[in-house]
Amino acid sequence: MEEHDLPRPKGDAASRLAREDLSPYSRDELDERVALLEAEIARVKAHRDKASAHRAAADALFGKSAR
């Protein structure tokens, strides 16, 4: 079985980040963290959009499948 076929572990990175105590961080560190998270959000959205376009192309080529 390949790695991408395995179930995702519970408590993914986003969930762990959401539980992290932010009080030790300075304002500059928080600004940097926000910038990194915004870049990650943009990356995830781009991948989602690419996957949606790929699915739409497959549906158009092979006919819409039941989900």
The model's pLDDT over 29-62, given as tens digits with 9 standing for 90+, comes to 999 999 999 999 999 999 999 999 998 888 888 8
Distance between CA atoms of residues 40 and 4, nearest Å: 20
pLDDT value, residue 58: 85
Inform me whether the pLDDT recorded for 5 exceeds 80: no
- Among residues 64, 44, 43, 46, which one has the least CA distance to residue 55? 64
Rounded to 5 degrees, what angle do the CA atoms 23, 29, 32 make?
130
Distance between CA atoms of residues 10 and 13, nearest Å: 9
Q: Check residues 3 and 21 and name the one with the higher pLDDT.
A: 21
Q: Residue 11 contacts by C-beta under 8 Å, 6 or more apart in sequence?
A: none
